Chains A and B, each alone.
Chain A
Amino acid sequence: MTTDKILFDRVTKVFPGRRGTGGAVTALDRVTLGVRPGEFLVVVGPSGCGKSTLLDLLGGLATPTAGQVLVDGEPVTGPGLDRGIVFQQYALLPWRTAAGNVAFGLEAKGVPRADRADLVAHHLELVGLTGFADRYPHELSGGMKQRVAIARSLAYDPAILLMDEPFAALDAQTRDSLQDELVRIWQATGKTIVFITHGIDEAVHLGGRVAVMTSRPGRIKQVIDIELGDRDAQDDVRSSDAFRHHRHQIWTLLRDEVRAAQSAERPVVPEEARVG
Chain B
Amino acid sequence: MVDIAERPTRLAARPAPTPAASTARPTLPGRLLGLGGRALHRSAALLALAAVWETAPRVGLVDRVFLPPLSEVLTAWWALLASGQLAEHVGASLTRSLTGLGLAVLTAIPLGLLIGWYRPLAELLGPLLEVFRNTAALALLPVFVLILGLGETSKIALVLYACSWPILLNTIAGVKGVDPLLVRSARSMGLNHLRLFQKVILPAAVPTIFTGVRLAGAYSILVLVAAEMVGAKAGLGYLVNYAQYNFAIPDMYAGIITISAIGLVVNQLLVAGERRFSTWRVDPTA
Please list the residues of chain A having a beta carbon within 8 angstroms of any beta carbon in chain B.
Answer: 59-61, 78-81, 83-85, 87, 89, 91, 93-95, 104-105, 107-109, 136-139, 156
Contacts and interface: CB of A to CB of B under 8 A. Distances in A.
B33 interface: no
A93 B182 contact: yes
B188 A60 contact: yes
Interface string B263-286: 000000000000000001101001
Interface stretch (B4-12, B69-77, B199-207, B242-250): B199-207
Given A107-B199, A138-B280, A85 B185 contact: yes
A136 B199 CA distance: 16
A108 B190 contact: yes
Contacts of A79: 187-190
A140 B268 CA distance: 31
Given A85-B185, A108-B186, 13 more contacts: A60-B188, A61-B187, A79-B187, A81-B189, A83-B188, A84-B189, A91-B185, A94-B281, A95-B206, A104-B199, A108-B189, A108-B190, A156-B189
Given A81-B189, A95-B280, A138-B280, A87 B181 contact: yes
A93 B190 CA distance: 16
B195 interface: yes
Interface in B204-255: 204, 206
A59 B187 CA distance: 10
Interface string B122-139: 000000000000000000
Interface residues of B, number: 21
Interface string B70-105: 000000000000000000000000000000000000
B189 A91 contact: no
Contacts of A61: 184, 187-188
A58 to B, nearest CB: 10
B189 A87 contact: no
Contacts of B188: 59-61, 79, 83-85
24 contacts: A60-B188, A78-B190, A79-B187, A79-B189, A79-B190, A80-B190, A81-B190, A83-B188, A84-B188, A84-B189, A85-B185, A85-B188, A87-B181, A89-B181, A91-B181, A93-B200, A94-B281, A104-B189, A108-B189, A108-B191, A109-B189, A138-B280, A138-B283, A139-B286
Contacts of A136: 280
Interface of B: 179, 181-182, 184-191, 195, 199-200, 203-204, 206, 280-281, 283, 286
A207 to B, nearest CB: 23
A107 B188 CA distance: 14
A42 B188 CA distance: 20
Contacts of B195: 108
B143 to A, nearest CB: 41
Contacts of B280: 94-95, 136-138
A213 B229 CA distance: 74
Nearest to A60: B188
Contacts of B186: 104, 108
A138 B286 contact: yes
B281 to A, nearest CB: 7
A80 to B, nearest CB: 5
Nearest to B181: A91
Contacts of A89: 181
Q: Which of B179, B185, B186 has the most CB of A within 10 A?
A: B185
A84 B185 CA distance: 9
- State the 4 A-B residue pairs at the shortest beta-carbon distance, nearest first: A91-B185, A108-B189, A95-B280, A85-B188
A78 B193 CA distance: 14
A67 B168 CA distance: 45
B189 A95 contact: no
A136 B204 CA distance: 14
A61 B179 CA distance: 16
Contacts of B281: 94
Most buried by B among A60, A87, A95: A95
A103 to B, nearest CB: 11
A93 B206 CA distance: 13
Contacts of B191: 108
A40 B129 CA distance: 53
A83 B190 CA distance: 10
